[in-house]
């Protein structure tokens, strides 16, 4: 396949997607000054914070919030401004700013790219805080991940049908115009991963999900075949929530939703136990899902750090890559193509999880790890270089964790640029992690 840059770990979020309580309680949101800072960061969400915490603060809180947002929270405002946009504009905006700064057009000849493959990872946030929350409006109408599916597809369709250009008359404004660029010539190729938490479905529903979104994948014999089928659907799918819930498109064409998703995203800290051996019914669901991923050669990305969105006290236990030793050692899962995200990063600096990933990679040839959100600064690649030396050069994947990485990074552009110019990886190493390896992970 041709010369392309891959960002294997990307998030398309707007404010309706995350579990907001898990979002504001992220450890990385609550650094240093702890709760006080959270309050300053997300004033709109004050009402979600326990009353006791609110009472703890003086009446000056409103002033402080204003002051912080205006003067102090540049990165946070950046994140919010991206998340506040209509989801339809997301990829168009990311594309516009990358082309504006000509990110991939200068420097090392081998690191010039005119094609960027991004994999937005959907996260199955389940029923958020509705169940047993004591809220009056506590009954969700439908599976929440459906809303995200509709949004990501809308955003992709918009991207291939429109362009953003500087406004011809109003200076400093942008304008949306019908695209004059063919799909082949657009900067991005967008292959999302479907977020599934088996706990949010029964076994029949999981079977139905796999049939719906991954029908026919088992017949792809070559990576090229998988790629072509996914590319063909890019921007062609037009659905809304109503279609998804009432299966309107499927009634006309049972294959309508196939080859939209390139992979599956698992997120243990939201209560996904990768091997719930004490709960036979749960175990059956997980077994089914993973065996289908192995059989249909669907790549899986599993969140693997002690940060992120957490809704269970067992988040760390579920996220520990040790849980996967037992799984991958079974013959039915040994070929599972799996990416342990964030290199098993832990806030304490412990390398324990990373070492587990490295030993899994030694044993299983389809085990990968991405360094998404760990490399906002040029120097952060020292760590990546150290891992490459541990025989991991063909298992490491570039990932940004955009938009969440805006908490640490000035922009998507900045994150990309730092990778391209960091002196800690040589050109060959860079090409492997941003092109050859992810291509293999994605398409086989
Ligand atoms: Zn992520």
CA of 309 to the centre of ligand 1 (A): 9
Segment 71-83 mean pLDDT: 71
Q: What is the pLDDT of residue 237?
A: 92
Q: How much is the pLDDT for 24?
A: 59
Query: pLDDT digit string (tens) for 206-231?
Result: 999 999 999 999 999 999 999 999 99
Top-level CATH class of 5-19+86-443?
Answer: alpha beta
Q: What b/e string do you get for 389-424 counting C-beta neighbours within 10 Å, with b at 16 or more?
A: eeebbebbbbbbbbbbbbbbbebbbbbbbbbbebeb
Distance 9 CA to ligand 1 centre (A): 6
- Predicted pLDDT at 331: 92
Calculate the average pLDDT of the chain.
Answer: 86
Q: How far is the CA of 399 from the centre of ligand 1 (A)?
A: 9
pTM: 0.88
Give residue 406 CA to ligand 1 midpoint distance, Å. 12
Contacts 24+ apart (CB under 8 A), 40-45: 40/64, 40/65, 40/68, 40/69, 40/72, 40/73, 41/68, 41/69, 41/73, 41/76, 43/69, 45/20
State the distance from the centre of ligand 1 to the C-alpha of 180, rounded, in angstroms: 32
Q: Ligand 1 center to residue 401 CA distance, Å? A: 5
Question: Six-digit token pair at 353?
Answer: 């999880």
Residue-wise pLDDT tens digits, 116-155: 999 999 988 876 555 556 667 666 655 668 888 999 999 9
Residue 45 has a pLDDT of 47
- 198: which residues sit within 8 A by CB, 6+ positions away? 206, 272, 282, 285, 286, 289
Determine whether 237 is exposed, middle or buried from the number of CB atoms within 10 Å of its CB (0-12, 13-18, 19+): middle
Mean predicted confidence (pLDDT) in 245-273: 92
Provide the 8-state DSSP code for 263.
E
Calculate how far, in angstroms, residue 168's C-alpha sits from the geometric centre of ligand 1: 37
Model confidence at 65, pLDDT cuts 50, 70, 90, reads low
- Other Cβ atoms closer than 10 A to 166: 12
* Cα 91 to middle of ligand 1, angstroms: 17
Radius of gyration of the chain (CA): 21
What is residue 47's predicted lDDT score, i.e. its pLDDT?
A: 44
Has residue 49 got a pLDDT over 90?
A: no
What's the CA-to-centroid distance between 177 and ligand 1, angstroms?
Answer: 31
Q: Treating both helix axes as pointing N-terminal to C-terminal, what angle do 90-100 and 145-161 enclose, rounded to 10 degrees? A: 50
What average pLDDT does the segment 360-374 reach?
96
319 burial type by CB count under 10 A (0-12 exposed, 13-18 middle, 19+ buried):
buried
Average pLDDT (405-415) is 88
Q: How far is the CA of 295 from the centre of ligand 1 (A)?
A: 25
Ligand 1 center to 10 CA (angstroms): 6
Distance 221 CA to ligand 1 centre (A): 30
Burial class for 29, CB neighbours closer than 10 Å (0-12, 13-18, 19+):
middle
State both tokens at 151.
Answer: 């949004």
412 alpha carbon to ligand 1 midpoint, in Å? 14
Q: Where are the beta strands (DSSP E) in 371-435?
A: 396-397
Which 3-state string (H, E, C) describes 114-127?
A: CCEEEEEECCCCCC
Peptide bond into 403 cis (omega under 30): yes
Q: What are phi and psi of 324, to 5 degrees?
A: -90, -10
45 and 22 in contact (C-beta within 8 Å)?
Answer: no
Q: Report the separation in Å between the CA atom of 340 and the middle of ligand 1, taken as the mean of its atom positions.
A: 11
């Amino acid at each position: 396949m041709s010369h392309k840059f891959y960002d294997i770990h990307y998030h398309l979020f707007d404010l309706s997607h995350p579990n907001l309580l898990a979002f504001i309680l992220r450890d990385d949101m609550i650094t240093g000054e702890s709760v006080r800072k959270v309050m300053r960061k997300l004033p709109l969400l004050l009402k979600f914070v326990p009353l006791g915490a609110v009472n703890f603060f003086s009446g000056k809180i409103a002033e402080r919030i204003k002051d912080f947002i205006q003067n102090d929270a540049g990165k946070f405002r950046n994140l919010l401004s991206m998340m506040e946009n209509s989801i339809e504009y997301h990829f168009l905006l990311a594309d516009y700013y990358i082309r504006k700064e000509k990110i991939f057009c200068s420097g090392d000849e081998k690191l010039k790219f005119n094609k960027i493959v991004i994999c937005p990872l959907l996260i199955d946030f389940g029923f958020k805080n509705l169940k047993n929350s004591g809220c009056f409006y506590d009954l969700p109408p439908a599976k929440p991940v459906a809303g995200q599916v509709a949004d990501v597809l809308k955003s992709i369709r918009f991207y291939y049908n429109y362009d953003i250009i500087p406004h011809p008359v109003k200076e400093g404004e942008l304008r949306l115009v019908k695209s004059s660029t063919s799909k082949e010539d657009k900067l991005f190729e967008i292959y999302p991963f479907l977020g599934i938490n088996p706990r949010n479905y029964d076994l029949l529903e999981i079977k139905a999900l796999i049939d719906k979104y991954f029908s026919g994948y088992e017949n792809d014999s070559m990576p090229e075949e998988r790629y072509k089928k996914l590319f063909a659907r890019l921007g062609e799918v037009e659905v809304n929530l109503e279609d998804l819930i009432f299966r309107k498109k499927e009634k006309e064409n049972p294959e309508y939703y196939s080859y939209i998703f390139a992979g599956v995203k698992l997120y243990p800290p939201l209560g996904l136990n990768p091997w719930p051996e004490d709960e036979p019914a749960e175990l059956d669901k997980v077994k089914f899902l993973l065996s289908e991923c192995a059989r249909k050669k669907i790549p899986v990305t599993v969140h693997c750090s002690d940060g992120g969105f957490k809704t269970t006290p067992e988040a760390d236990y579920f996220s520990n890559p040790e849980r996967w030793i037992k799984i991958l050692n079974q013959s039915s899962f040994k070929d599972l193509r799996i990416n342990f995200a964030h290199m098993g990063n832990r806030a304490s600096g412990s390398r324990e999880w990373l070492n587990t990933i490295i030993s899994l990679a030694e044993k299983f040839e389809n085990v990968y790890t991405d360094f998404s959100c760990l490399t906002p600064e040029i120097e952060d690649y020292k760590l990546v270089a150290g891992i490459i030396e541990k025989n991991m050069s063909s298992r490491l994947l570039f990932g940004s964790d955009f938009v969440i990485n805006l908490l640490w990074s000035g922009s998507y552009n900045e994150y990309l640029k730092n990778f391209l110019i960091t002196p800690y990886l040589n050109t060959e190493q860079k090409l492997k992690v941003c092109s050859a390896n992810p291509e293999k992970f994605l398409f086989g």
